[in-house]
Structure 1
Amino acid sequence: MARRALILIEDTRTNGPVFVQAARRLGLHPITLSADPAQHDYLAAESIETIRVDTDSLDALIRECSQLRAAYDIAGITSAREEVYATVGKLCRYFDLPGPDSASIERCCDKFTQRQLLAAAGAPIPAYRLVANAMEVESSAAEIGLPVILKPAVGTGSSGVRLCRTVDELVEHTTYLLGGKYIWRSSPRMLVEEFAQGPHYTAHIMGNEIIGIEASDFGPPPHFVAREGIFPAPLTDDEHERIADVSLSCLRALGLGWGPTNIQLRWTKRGPVVIEVNPRLAAGPRLIQLAYGVDLATEHIKLVIGEEWDLRKRHSHTAAWRCLLPDRDGILDWIDGDSRAAAVPGVAEVKLDVKPKTPIVRKGEVRDSLGYVIAVSTSPPRAETILQRAVDLISWSITPFPTTGGEEQPVALNSPHVIEAPAPLD
């Protein structure tokens, strides 16, 4: 009898390993198809069967999966990466497997089309304009009024997203996006959007069910790099209901409702405003597992292979997280304290994503993070106290890149404070 396999198309740094582990727990053999397997360092470490293939080509993926069917019983095909999720839907349809609707995914991943559909359905969204050149950027910003958000119409991980508070900042970011430094996956199309101000929330959804709502915050502007968050968010019943109602209306407007979705919102003076709908698991389903005992990666894979999922909560705790964000570019001399942080009672996970001697070049996106810490407890204040205690034990040193003024000296950091330790702790 052929071995049951789960095909994973590409992955993400956070959720890729989670999908692999969940597949194995379900008795499946994970196989990753990737255009560049070397970029996923955990694949070799976990001895994951990996095949190099052009994941932008549906025909190439169909040929590879057809060949794999000669040796395996392909139970399902999925991905943790939004950029290829529409292709996953097409593959599932070709091989008669459960999967997302590719047309709905494609509409959702184009932020302009998403905005149009949400506006037509009456969903609360920021004012927006689609632009393609510097003149349109400037005139649209003038119509909406500064400050505005300028971002690519297609993209993930906050890449290319910036708050522009002045005309000079607007010109600077427009030049960056259109001047050859930003890498476009398609023809350059941008959105100028009203800056919706207020606390940030993410609704985590499976199918048509709201699993929970997370509160989060970002690093310093003008970028939107995730810094910290807590799940579930401390909301009143009325606030929770309003966010849930708006989120479910987004699913209907966009034709979603199969598998995972995460919806980002801001609570503004007019209530919840939809910032973005993402047809995938948010980074870090571990939070929900710690807080509620629901393993969304496993339940998602059950859906993918045609089994019944179980979204019942096993308990009710609070999980809090913090990303380790550098405050400068340079060479990472050392980073230390992760083992001590992991030993703090209540700390569920500590992960460092970089190694010493790595060049640190901040781009104002999710990959700027050096790692993260997650803590869990029975109450929000206790979880946040545990988290802070653990983060305070982690420190690092970054030597700024040399400047014309002479050789820079290393600076040791403990996010977000500067400390004076010039060498790693024992």
Structure 2
Amino acid sequence: MARRALILVEGHSRCTGLLYVQAAKRLGLHPITLAADPTRYDYIAAEKVEAIPVDTDNLDALIRECSRLGASYDIAGIASSEGYVYATVGKLCRHFDLPGPNPESIEPCCDKFTQRQLLAEAGVPMPAYRLATNATDVKSSAAEIGLPVVLKPAVGAGSRGVRLCRNMDELSEHTTYLLGGKHIWRSSPRILVEEFAQGPYYGAEIMGSKVIGIAAAEFAPPPHFVFREFTIPALLTDDEHERIADVSQSCLQALGLGWGPTNIELRWTKRGPVVIEVNPRLPGTPDPQMIQLAYGIDLITEHIKLAIGEEWDLRKRHSHIAAARILVPDRDGTIDWIVGESRAAAVSGVAEVKFYVEPKTPILRKGDSRDWIGHVIAASPGRAHTAAILQRAVNLIGWSITPFPTVGK
């Protein structure tokens, strides 16, 4: 009998890709990664994962590779943790008659402007927005909406190219950055100009049509949107929780989602919850780990079960408070040393301490998720206790960064 395999299209350079591989193995599956450059993922070698180089932007190439693998393996399912290939995964699943997301629903979500239009048609509360393709459009759109505004690429992820512009100088500066060749576009340049929705940030974690949990998050200081801390469940009244859940359900209906994982980002403003973005995929680290710590639900395992046609189990086993601190450097330069990782990991209640970089790594901050150099995750039955555990662990960690030499010296 052929060995059952799970095809993973691309991976994740931090933890999520590794978690998919480990979950697949626990389910008795043989994980195989198809990636444009498998060497990007260090866990491929560490876990001795079968990995095949293939152009993951080319559906026909992926179909050929999966067909070839099908001669040696029983392909049980195809999945991914990466949003930019998720529509392709849906098309692959459809071609091989496997369970998967609907690509016709996924593709419009990957374009933030198209997504906004669909949500607006359904009456979902959102910030005011305009689409711009040049500097003149950006300026006139900002004038119509009123400063401050957020500029973001219409297609992108990880907060890349996203910035708060509080005045005309910042608007001009970031427009030049986006259109002047410094930002890497996967398609023709299209900028979303949005009203800055002010208020606490929340993320609704959904599987199928079920809201599993709602997380709160905090950012580093503006103008960029770099996450610094997450807590799940968020501290909400029953009414606030219900309103966020209702808006989230409206998003699923408007976008034709409801298969597998969805992550919805919102802000609680003067008019209640407004939707910032709908991501038709499982969020990356640290969300899956925090969900498991808070509720005992392994979203990655349950996603794989869905992808291979097995029944999932989304029942909550317990109700704890999980929190994560993202470690972000305060300057550019070269990391000299990192200390305290093992001491922090030994603190009772700490679930995970991980650095993504090693000493001698050059650090050049981008103002997005690439600035993360590590994380600490903690959990306990109490909110104040979890916060105290997390802070104690973070206090034990340190690093040193030597600034890059000044040009001309």
State the TM-score bracket (shorter-chain normalisation).
Answer: over 0.9
**Map of 1:116 onto structure 2:** 117
Q: Distance in 2 between matches of 1:21 and 1:235?
A: 34
RMSD (Å) for aligned C-alpha atoms: 0.7
What is the SS of the residue equivalent to 1:83?
helix
User: 1:313: which partner in 2?
Assistant: 316
Alignment of 1:368-383 (within 5 A): 368-383=371-386
Aligned letter for 1:342?
Answer: A
2:403 aligns with one of 400, 404, 414: 400
Residue number in structure 1 paired with 2:341: 338
- Paired residues for 1:351-362 under 5 Å: 351-362=354-365
> What is residue 282 of structure 1 aligned with on the other side?
283
Give percent identity, aligned residues only: 74
Alignment partners' CA distance in 1, 2:291 and 2:90: 25
1:257 alignment partner, SS class? coil
| 2:149 alignment partner AA | V
3-state SS, counterpart of residue 174 of structure 2 = helix
Q: Hey, what does 1:125 align to over in structure 2?
A: 126
- Deviations for 1:342-396, whole angstroms, at most 9, x for unmatched residues? 0000000001000111110111111211100000001111000000000011100
For structure 2, the 5+ residue unaligned runs are none
1:327 corresponds to 2:323 = no
Aligned to 2:194: 193
SS in 2 for 1:383: helix
Which residue does 1:95 correspond to in 2?
96
2:183 is matched with 182
Cα offset, 1:14, TM superposition: 2.9
The residue number in structure 1 matching 2:210 is 209
- Describe the superposition over 1:63-118 as per-residue Cα deviations: whole angstroms up to 9, x where unpaired: 00000001000000010000000000000000000000001100011100000000
1:297 to 281, 289, 300: 300
Q: What is the CA-CA distance between 1:404 and the residue it aligns to?
A: 4.2
Instruction: Provide, for residues 178-212 of structure 1, a one-character-per-residue CA deviation record: whole Å limited to 9, x for no partner.
Output: 11111000010110000000000000000000001
1:367 and 2:363 are equivalent in the alignment: no
**Counterparts of 2:11 and 2:139 in 1: how far apart (Å)?**
37
- 2:13 is equivalent to residue 10 of structure 1: no
Match of 1:389 in 2: 392
Provide the rounded CA distance (Å) in 1 between the counterparts of 2:135 and 2:377: 42
Rounded Cα–Cα distance in structure 2 between residues aligned with 1:226 and 1:30: 31
Q: Where does residue 63 of structure 2 map in the other structure?
A: 62
- Between the two proteins, the alignment pairs up a number of residues equal to 406
Gapped regions of structure 1 (runs ≥ 5)? 407-426
Runs of 4+ residues over 2 Å off in structure 1: none
Separation in structure 1 between the aligned mates of residue 408 and residue 38 of structure 2, nearest angstrom = 41
The separation in 2 between residues aligned to 1:249 and 1:187, in whole angstroms, is 30
Give the whole-Å Cα distance in 1 for the aligned partners of 2:244 and 2:140: 32
Which residue matches 1:260?
261
Is it true that 1:148 corresponds to 2:175 in the alignment? no
Residue 75 of structure 1 aligns to a residue whose secondary structure is strand
3-state secondary structure, aligned to 1:88: helix
Q: Distance in 1 between matches of 2:3 and 2:43?
A: 23
1:181 aligned counterpart, secondary structure:
coil
Distance in 2, matches of 1:34 and 1:206, equals: 25
> Cα deviation per residue 1:230-281 (whole Å; 9 max; x = unaligned)?
0011110000000000000000000000000000000000000000000011
Shift of residue 405, structure 1, vs aligned partner: 7.3
Secondary structure in 2 matching 1:240: helix
Question: Could you tell me how far apart the structure 1 residues matched to 2:239 and 2:269 are?
Answer: 15
Match of 1:347 in 2: 350
Amino acid at match of 1:332: I
Q: Distance in 1 between matches of 2:273 and 2:310?
A: 35
Q: CA offset at residue 282 of structure 1? A: 1.1
Output the CA distance in 2 between the equivalents of 1:46 and 1:336: 26
AA aligned to 1:238 is: D
> What SS class does the counterpart of residue 239 from structure 2 fall into?
helix
Residues in 1 aligned to 2:64 and 2:340: alpha-carbon distance in whole angstroms: 47
* Amino acid aligned to 1:176: Y
Paired AA for residue 8 in structure 1: L
Cα deviation digits, residues 303-326 of structure 1 (max 9, x gap): 000000000000110101000000
- In structure 1, distance between residues paired with 2:52 and 2:224: 35
> How many angstroms does 1:335 deviate by?
1.1
SS at structure 2 position matched to 1:327: coil
Equivalent AA in structure 2 for residue 310 of structure 1: D
> Which residues of 2 match residues 75-86 of structure 1 at below 5 A?
75-86=76-87
Supply the distance in 1 between the matched residues of 2:289 and 2:328 (Cα, whole angstroms): 20
SS of 1:137's equivalent in the other structure is helix
For 1:53 and 1:336, the matched residues in 2 are separated by 39
The one-letter code of the counterpart of 1:11 is: G
